[in-house]
Amino acid sequence: MHSYQVSHIKLQVILLCLLVTLPAISQRRTIRLGEDSPLRKLQIAEMAITNLYVDSVDEQQLVENGVRAMLEKLDPHSTYLTAKEVQQANESLQGSFEGIGVQFNMVEDTLLVVQPVVGGPSERKGIVAGDRIVAVNDTAIAGVKMSKEEIMRRLRGPKGTIVNLGVVRRGIQDTLHFVIERDKIPVHTIDATYMLRKDVGYIRIGSFGATTHDEFRESLQRLQKQGMKTLVLDLQENGGGYLQAAVKIGGEFLEKDDLIVYTKGRNVPSTEYRAEGDGLFTKGRVIVLVDSYTASAAEIVSGAIQDHDRGIIVGRRTFGKGLVQRPIDLPDGSMIRLTTAHYYTPSGRCIQKPYEKGDKKHYAEDMLQRLKSGELMSADSVHFADSLKCYTLREHRVVYGGGGIMPDEFVPLDTLQYTRYHRQLAAKSIIINANLHYVDDHRKELQRQYKTFDAFRRRFEVPQSLIDQIVTEGERQDIKPKDDAERDATLPYLRTQLKALVARDLWTMDEYFAIINDLNDTVKRAMELIGK
């Protein structure tokens, strides 16, 4: 019998015996593939290619390509993630990963410890900022052009496992050796918490993960102890995350049973999410900062606060993601994130911006279109259809659905602040590398000179030698300002950025944002509103 006939018989037997079990939306049921089933057609195609195609094929990749192709014809947010991508996404949202606990940057093929995680395994064993990790388990990782991903793979590992590190420390001739037991390392989603002035607090949320609500309550309590009466909640560039995290954050500002968001889908029941009534900040003044990259869960919080007239939204129109994705785990650890519902703000707005199924290109270019249309510079360039009009619940102000959250106070984008020259220096990592070298060379001197952040903020000036070093390195890489005007426009922001980076490396991200926010027009507009 020919191999073709064998394969054909094998294919027929497999198809006759095939039973496919799929999780249904509301129940689990077994589906037998009938003669006219689209699933049978898909299975026949996959089995035919695997068994009969002229060349060998990777069956796993074949199936993945098929899943991706199906999802690409749906909305822009239904996606497929490989097992590795799932792990990376979960680490950022679930609040922890397992490893040695250091923040680091790569400088000239060497891992430079920026800060050990407070209370983490590396700090407990004596790893300090400025250390260079040159070997992991007797394998050199410095000067061998090993990728950052490969280095991270060697440093991370299950909790309780042991890793041996070779460390070079400034001022010590011999390589130091540390035996570190890996542990769970927290991933914080609150970027910064500090007082803008004596009665105004500031919290910046980077994303909405499993630990965000607990972190947020801790931040609120810390600021309230310092006398906070008004909160500036910064959701700029926050791409979202877990819906439940957004609901809990929204509940911190609203009264018991106030509607925060509700969802509706074709095959899922309508669900309402309401405040539980134990919010820590139901009375104080709230100002929420947003921009074009504020999306999803961050828009849920913004929409709830706006619709209840609980606070003022300041910035630019948000991204406009009003779709809810359900994770569907696959046997090999991969995942489908399938859109199953729309979400609606308390006034009834669906803020999802328009899209054509299968056309992700134009959807992805929306930000470019906003820039070209002038929307980012002028609120008058933003237009909503009257059919999308809704009203806030207390003051009955007009708000619109169909394309993000429109702020109550518009702040135009300053296109002159980030010059072409600055963007090129940053893209080549010239600024960050110069900062790392500067802090590494002067850390002890800086720590002696500036005992507190307040002293640093008042007295520290970025040395001209650091600016000259960046300019010289830029010229070496053929990066130059087009004229004196561009150079002069670049230097003020560059100096403030460098001061903020030095503060970050000496303290935390709180101090970084305390300095860099001096240049943030949306933060400045919020402070003007508070002053009024």
Which residues have a catalytic role annotated?
A: 296, 307, 321
Query: For the chain, how long is the longest CA-to-CA vector?
Result: 89
Other CB atoms within a 10 A radius of the CB of residue 404 amount to 29
Locate tokens 């046997």: which residue? 331
Is-contact 193 215, C-beta < 8 A? no
CA distance 202 to 513: 10
DSSP state at residue 19: E
Is-contact 300 273, C-beta < 8 A? no
The 10 Å CB-count burial string (b at 16+, else e) for 302-323 is bbbbbbbebbbbbbbbbbbbbb
CA distance 27 to 85: 28
CA distance 192 to 510: 4
SS3 37: coil
Interhelix angle 464-476/430-449, nearest 10 degrees: 160
H or E segment at 333? none
The 10 Å CB-count burial string (b at 16+, else e) for 178-201 is bebebbebebebbbbbbbbeeebb
Is-contact 529 409, C-beta < 8 A? yes
- Could you give the C-alpha distances from 124 to 117, 128, 371, 491, 504, in angstroms and in order? 10, 10, 49, 40, 21
Nearest to 514 by CA among 234, 288, 315, 260: 234
* Ramachandran area for residue 232 (φ above 0: left; ψ -120 to 50: alpha; else beta): beta
Q: Tell me the backbone φ, ψ of residue 277, rounded to 5 degrees.
A: 95, 10
CA distance 317 to 295: 10
